[in-house]
């Protein structure tokens, strides 16, 4: 549920220790937006510590959470490759520390550093391969099954992520989520 990429994070830590000064560390507070949908940015971000949500907002103000991102996950890279406005918004859920790198330096590393390039391409392949099974599972199983799967993968689910965000991640209403959580709680108390 909360995706991570320790291998990429470890490599960026190595680059920083080698005094490759392409990365700037920044911090964000919970609920602070780092990227807004349909805006232009000139940096890629890699999460050093914390959790964010990546989401789309429709014309009615409904949010659909694409994914939750943790350590080592990057965002803003799709815009580097496409040259378009940001596709999603990224908002901090917990205190967040990121490495920020300009598009120019990101592209330079992609062209000059084979290991960095391989890690970025691998991360993009994983990101793509993650989407279809997740959406398929959510459509093929009951809300209850989906909640149980999420809790199995991330036991502190409702302690870290708001119920509203969980509902938006699952593509359901908050009311439906609360109904299922109460049903599961009743089952567990019997």
How does pLDDT run along the chain (190 residues), one tens digit per residue? 788 999 999 999 999 988 888 999 999 999 999 999 999 999 999 999 999 999 999 888 888 988 899 999 999 998 888 888 998 999 999 999 999 999 999 999 999 999 999 999 999 888 888 766 666 666 677 888 878 887 777 777 778 888 899 888 888 888 988 888 888 887 777 6
- Which backbone phi and psi does 80 adopt, to 5 degrees? -65, -45
Residue with tokens 């990227």: 35
* Global pTM value: 0.86
What is the predicted pLDDT for the residue at 134? Answer: 64
């Amino acid at each position: 549920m909360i995706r991570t990429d320790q291998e990429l994070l470890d490599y960026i830590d190595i680059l920083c220790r080698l005094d490759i000064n392409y990365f700037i560390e920044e911090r964000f507070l919970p609920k602070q937006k780092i990227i807004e949908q349909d805006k232009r940015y000139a940096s890629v971000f890699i999460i050093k510590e914390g959790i964010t949500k990546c989401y789309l907002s429709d014309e009615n103000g409904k949010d659909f959470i694409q994914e939750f991102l943790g350590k080592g996950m990057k965002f803003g890279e799709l815009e580097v490759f496409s040259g378009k406005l940001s596709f999603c918004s990224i908002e901090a859920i917990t205190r967040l520390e990121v490495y920020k790198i300009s598009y120019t330096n990101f592209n330079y590393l992609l062209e000059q550093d084979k290991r960095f390039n391989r890690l970025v391409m691998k991360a993009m392949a994983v990101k793509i391969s993650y989407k279809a099974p997740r959406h398929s599972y959510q459509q093929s199983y009951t809300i209850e099954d989906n909640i149980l799967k999420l809790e199995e993968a991330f036991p502190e689910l409702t302690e870290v992520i708001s119920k509203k965000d969980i509902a938006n991640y699952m593509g359901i209403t908050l009311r439906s989520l609360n109904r299922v959580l109460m049903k599961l709680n009743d089952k567990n108390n019997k």
